[in-house]
Amino acid sequence: MISNQVYWNLIVVFTLLGTNEIVAFDKGHLEIFKKDKICEECGLTKAKLSKMELQGSNLRGSNLFRANFYKSDLTGANLSETNLGRSNMKRTNLQGVNLKGADLTRADLREAVLFEANLTGALLEDTKLIGTALKGAVWTNGQICKEGSLGKCIQ
């Protein structure tokens, strides 16, 4: 049988761990970004940015690990050198976005639009690209994706 002291200590530990999971991003950075659409090198891990109009925004060098951009419009945004690992970008408009050097490891980009996006040097390990429109995108190796590039880059 667990003593009351051990029981309460476990509750406190799990409560603190749970709180850390919920508030994983810098609230000040999030407010700056929502106001100005500019937040270079910001800490926005697990930020909820779904269904937002974020055209032309600048998040260069930011940590967006596990951020949720589901159905957002990021047309023309600067996401170069960002950590987008495990982020949800399903059905997101990423047309003309700069993703040069971005880490998209295990990100969900299913059914996203990446027409003319720059993916030069981006990491795409285990990235979900089913139904992703890539026509005109600059692929990780610098080659242009041809007409018909859906879910994979045809060079």
Tens digits of residue pLDDT in 97-147: 999 999 999 999 999 999 999 999 999 999 999 999 999 999 999 999 999
pLDDT at 92 over 50: yes
20 pLDDT tier (thresholds 50, 70, 90):
very low
- In Å, how far from its chain's centre is CA 126? 14
pLDDT at 23: 43
Q: What is the pTM of this model?
A: 0.82
Find out whether 51 and 68 touch, Cβ atoms under 8 Å. Answer: no
CATH of the domain at 70: 2.160.20.80
Distance, in Å, from the CA atom of 51 to the CA atom of 68, rounded to the nearest integer, reads 9
Q: What is the 3-state secondary structure (H, E, C) of 89-128?
A: CCCCECCCCECCCCECCCCECCCCECCCCECCCCECCCCE
DSSP code, position 22: H
pLDDT at 39 over 60: yes
Q: Is the dihedral of CA 133, 137, 140, 144 positive or negative?
A: positive
Question: Structurally, how many domains does the chain consist of?
Answer: 1
pLDDT at 34: 81
Selection from 49, 99, 57, 51 nearest residue 74 by Cα: 57
22 pLDDT tier (thresholds 50, 70, 90):
very low
Task: Return the percentage of the chain with pLDDT > 70, whole number.
Answer: 84
Q: Which residues contact 44 (CB under 8 A, 6 or more apart)?
A: 25, 26, 29, 30, 33, 59, 62, 63, 64, 67
Structural domain of residue 153, as residue ranges?
1-155
